[in-house]
Structure 1
C-alpha cells in the first residue's frame, strides 16, 4: 500500500529522478525494534503508524472483552506487545522468521458461540465510549503524504537499488528466486507459497524456511537498516519544513494513545 502511494507521489512530482533535488539529513536513522518486529522511522513520531494503530485496536478489543464478559461470553484480546509481521523491507528479523515465518496467527475477537445481538450491543456501547480515543485517519493523511514523498526519493537512489541488488544476489545463492519489482519484498517461492497455502498449517514449516532465508539474507547485507537509514534521511528535512503542523498532529495523537493505554492498563 505504501509503495503504490509512493509511486503516485513520484508521478505527481513529475520527476524522472525524484531524489535528485530532495534534501537529506543523514543524521536521521531508522531503529530496528526486534522485540516488536518493527522498523521505526522519524515520521512515525507524528504518524498514524502501525504501533499507534495496534495500541488503539487493543484498547477497543479490551472494551469489547469487558462488555462480552458482562454477558457471560469470552473475547480474546491481542497483546499490544505481540510482534507483528514486519512488512517494511521484507522479512528482516531472523528470530521472528524462525518462529513465525512471515506472520503469526493471532487470536482476537469473540468466539463463534456468541449471539449476534451481543456483538451488536457491545459494538454500540464501545463505540460510544471510544470517541475520545479513536483517531481520525483523515487528519493524518498529511503525514502519509510526507511519508510517501520520502519513500519515493529514497527508492529512486542508486544506493537503494544497489542494496536491493545485494539482497537478490544472496537469495539466488541460497536457492531462491528474487522478485525484482519495486513493491516486491519476498522471493518468488515465498509469494507462491503464501498464495497457494492460504494459511494452511501444513505449509508452515516451508513458510518458516523461506522467510528465514530471506531474513538471513536481509541481515547479511544489512538491507533493512541501510534502506531505513536512507528513507529516514529524506524524512528529516520534510519534518523540519512542516514542524508546526506535525507537532499539532503529534499532540493530538499522544492524548488519544495515552487514553488507549489507560484502558489497556486498567480494564484487563
Structure 2
C-alpha cells in the first residue's frame, strides 16, 4: 500500500516503506537525480519547450516527469502505462494533476501497453518502471525494446531509468539490446560515483537514431545540483555484453538498502 509523506518541497510516495517517487509543489524542482536527468534529455534532445511533445511513460508512480512535461510544455499528449491502478488512484487523490492536462494513465503493463500503441506515435518513450526494488525483466528484453523503438517518431528518443551495482553488467546488457533496435546512438547518464563504480545507483540509458550531442548534454547537466557525468562510448563499452531476451531475461539487481540508495 502506498504512503504519502509531505516535506517542505512536496509529497514523497512510498511503496512498501521505500521511496518510489517525489511529487514537488514546483514541477521544475526535481528532487531525485535521475528524474532531473530524464527531464534534461527531453529538453535537449527534442525540440525545446514550450513546444508540445507526445510522450509515452512506461511506469507511472507519482507521475513526476509527466507533470514536469505538462508544466514546461502545456497541453502535451502523454500516455502513462501503470499497472497498479490502486497506486494511480491514490496519487490522483493525494497529489492531484493540474487542470487541463492531457496525461492519460492506462492500467496495463509496459509490454502490453506498448504493443497497443501506433507506430511513430511518440516523440519519446520513457521507461521508469520498478517492482520490488528492481526494473522488471520483461521491459528490458530486445523484444520489448524493439517494440518501444517502433513507437518512436523518426527523430524520437528512448530513455530508460535503470539501476545497477558497481560494474554495471546489467546496464551493459540492456544497452547492447537497445543497439539492436534501430537506435545505434546511445549514452549513459549518472552521478559520478555511480559511473565510476563506487556504489549501486540509478543510470539513465539514452537511445536515438540520430547522433547525440554529448558535449552539449554534459554542459546542460553541469547546471544540475548533482555531480553528473555522461558516458558516450556505449557502443564500444557494451559490445561484448549479451542482450537480454525473452528467453534469457533478468530484472535489475536490487539495491543493498532499497530505502536509502537513491541520491536526494
More helix by share: 1
Instruction: Flag whether TM exceeds 0.5 (same fold).
Output: no
- TM-score where L is the length of structure 1: 0.25
- TM-score where L is the length of structure 2: 0.25
Q: Larger RCO: Structure 1 or Structure 2 (Cα < 8 Å, ≥ 6 residues apart)?
A: 1
